[in-house]
């Protein structure tokens, strides 16, 4: 076997290779199962015992030579192919652009802005708070008992025994009272988390809650505020009703419904701030009273944009965003 002649032939073949396919073909030609170098290794058994070590070493050196040269060539070919692609797909930055294809705000962002602008015009300020919250601010300070179903694992994402992903933006209300004292008029937009998912629920969603605390605040003030807001949001005078309900942090509590083509539709929850909540936040319930309300942004967006499935809001379909 003439290894020197084989090495010369191998070098010639490598010099002729001009692309990745050529290099792959050479690898098969020399190192494949029936490759020339592979066959030499198989023929070692035909040599005498004294000839095998020297011949084996020579074959391994030839194999190493091929691998080293092909690796160098592979990098060169790869760079050449990249350069060819870049040249072919290059963009002429002097060409005019279509300025009509601009980005657009997400429907949820537009809904949040729409709601915030209304309440800002009514003297409310915007407050924010942490999404990873303590049990105290998320439950205890809001008069939610230790045995309340909302604390169960199927509703709440717990980080550890005392920390969780907030299930509503109500903790921001408590933090705001402690920080700013009363009287107070705030709204709290933000993300909240619950273990729930179907056509009308998602495990992460957006809420806006409002809070007003002052002297001589009553349920009539609450009804007027929310009725005016709903008329503004939907752009027409609506039939609105307040149904008795229960929330641990308000008393009395109510669900707010509006009349649409299919009948009464639940929109939000509300109520007068529970005296226990005021006391926990250091507010004298004999001097001050207040109301609170909360609504889901996805639900409001779904109604405003006449959508059938609110999960569309999380699928990042640019067609939906461009139509908003």
SS3 of 147-175: the string is CCHHHCCCCCCECCCCEEECCCCHHHHHH
Which residues contact residue 189 at a Cβ distance below 8 angstroms, ignoring those fewer than 6 apart? 112, 115, 116, 126, 128, 169, 206, 207, 208, 297
User: What's the pLDDT tens digit per position in 265-287?
Assistant: 999 999 999 999 999 999 999 99
* Predicted local confidence at residue 201, as pLDDT: 64
324 residues of the chain, pLDDT tens digit each:
577 777 788 788 888 888 888 888 888 888 887 778 777 777 777 777 777 788 778 778 878 888 888 888 888 888 888 888 888 887 777 878 776 666 788 899 999 999 999 999 999 999 999 999 999 999 999 999 888 887 776 688 999 988 999 999 999 999 999 998 899 999 999 999 988 765 556 788 999 999 999 999 999 999 999 999 999 999 999 999 999 999 999 999 999 999 988 899 999 999 999 999 999 999 999 999 999 999 999 999 988 888 877 778 888 777 777 766
* Predicted local confidence at residue 287, as pLDDT: 96
Determine if the peptide bond prior to 246 is cis (ω within 30°): no
Question: Is 272 in contact with 290 (CB distance < 8 Å)?
Answer: yes
Measured at the CA of 278, the angle between CA 277 and CA 283, to 5 degrees, comes to 155
Residues, the chain, total? 324
pTM, full prediction: 0.66
**HSE on the CB side for 180, CA within 13 Å?**
19
Question: Is 170 in contact with 247 (CB distance < 8 Å)?
Answer: no
Question: Is 143 in contact with 277 (CB distance < 8 Å)?
Answer: yes
Question: Is 241 in contact with 252 (CB distance < 8 Å)?
Answer: no
**HSE on the CB side for 278, CA within 13 Å?**
24
**HSE on the CB side for 276, CA within 13 Å?**
13
Question: Is 147 in contact with 159 (CB distance < 8 Å)?
Answer: no
**HSE on the CB side for 68, CA within 13 Å?**
6
Which candidate, 58, 211, 197, 203, places its Cα nearest to that of 127?
211
Residue 249 tokens read as 């942090």
User: What's the pLDDT tens digit per position in 192-204?
Assistant: 998 876 555 678 8
Residue 114 tokens read as 């729409």
CA distance 68 to 64: 6
* Predicted local confidence at residue 251, as pLDDT: 95
Which candidate, 151, 139, 214, 219, places its Cα nearest to that of 177?
214
Beta bridge partner(s), residue 208: 189, 295
Q: Locate tokens 């004294």: which residue?
A: 50
Helix (H) or strand (E) holding 264: strand 263-273
* Predicted local confidence at residue 280, as pLDDT: 93
Which candidate, 234, 216, 191, 180, places its Cα nearest to that of 291?
216
Expressed in angstroms, the distance from the first to the final Cα of the chain is 76
Question: Is 277 in contact with 249 (CB distance < 8 Å)?
Answer: yes
* Predicted local confidence at residue 305, as pLDDT: 86
Determine if the peptide bond prior to 133 is cis (ω within 30°): no
Helix (H) or strand (E) holding 193: strand 184-193
């Amino acid at each position: 076997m003439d290894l020197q002649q084989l090495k010369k032939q191998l070098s010639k073949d490598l010099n002729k290779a001009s692309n990745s396919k050529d290099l792959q073909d050479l690898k098969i030609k020399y190192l494949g199962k029936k490759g020339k170098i592979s066959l030499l290794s198989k023929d070692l058994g035909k040599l005498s015992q004294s000839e095998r070590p020297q011949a084996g070493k020579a074959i391994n050196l030839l194999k190493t030579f091929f691998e080293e040269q092909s690796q160098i060539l592979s990098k060169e070919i790869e760079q050449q192919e990249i350069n060819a692609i870049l040249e072919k797909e290059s963009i002429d930055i002097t060409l005019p652009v279509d300025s009509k294809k601009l980005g657009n705000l997400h429907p949820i962002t537009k809904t949040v802005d729409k709601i915030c602008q209304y309440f800002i015009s009514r003297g409310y300020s915007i407050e924010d708070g942490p999404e990873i919250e303590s049990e105290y601010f998320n439950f205890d300070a809001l008069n939610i008992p230790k045995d309340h179903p909302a604390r169960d694992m199927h509703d709440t994402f717990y980080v550890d025994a005392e920390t969780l992903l907030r299930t509503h933006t109500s903790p921001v209300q408590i933090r705001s009272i402690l920080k700013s004292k009363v009287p107070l008029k705030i709204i709290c937009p933000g993300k909240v988390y619950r273990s729930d998912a179907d056509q009308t629920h998602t495990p992460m969603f957006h809420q806006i809650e409002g809070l007003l605390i002052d002297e001589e605040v009553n349920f009539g003030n609450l009804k007027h505020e929310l009725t005016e807001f709903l008329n503004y949001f939907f752009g027409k005078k609506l039939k609105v009703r307040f149904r008795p309900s229960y929330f641990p942090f308000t008393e009395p509590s109510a669900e707010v419904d509006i009349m649409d083509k299919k009948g009464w539709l639940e929109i939000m929850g509300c109520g007068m701030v529970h005296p226990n909540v005021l006391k926990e936040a250091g507010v004298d319930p004999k001097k001050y009273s207040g109301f609170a309300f909360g609504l889901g942004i996805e639900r409001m967006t779904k109604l405003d944009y006449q959508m059938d499935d609110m999960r569309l809001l999380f699928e990042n379909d640019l067609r939906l965003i461009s139509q908003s």
